[in-house]
Amino acid sequence: MTTENVPAQGATADAVRDIADVAAVEVITSAAVHLMSAAAVKCGLAEDAEAQGHLDLDEARKLINALAALVTASAPDIGNQHARSLRDGLRSLQLAFREASAYPDAPGEGPGEKYTGAVS
């Protein structure tokens, strides 16, 4: 083993220790917040998103589907307190997507609705 690998191994060990100290609920909610933020921008909810070319409903659909799957699958494990706020954010995004769509999906066919049921 060469000495040039030692700092890299130390940094990796530190990162692993840091991750080990983070509770699963924090990792899950952090991932959900990242998905929500990206989906909000793609739905045109950011300031001047449409003018800046950030509106992209195809990308938003993918992000909302992933968010819905994460929230639905993790809700029993992360507890009602965390799940409720994630569900509220998800629902807001689903409604924003519907509003931004020139041709809204049929009830139950919108992004994430296969996981959450129809949103109205």
pTM value?
0.83
Series of mean pLDDT values for 10-residue runs along the chain (120 residues): 59 76 93 97 82 86 98 96 96 96 93 94
- How many residues would you count in the chain? 120
Percent helix / strand / coil, the chain, rounded to 5: 70, 0, 30
pLDDT in tens, 54-77: 899 999 999 999 999 999 999 999
Half-sphere exposure of 29 (CA within 13 A, CB side): 16
Residue with tokens 């994430």: 112
Give residue 4's pLDDT: 57
The rounded distance, in Å, linking the Cα atoms of 54 and 41 is 6
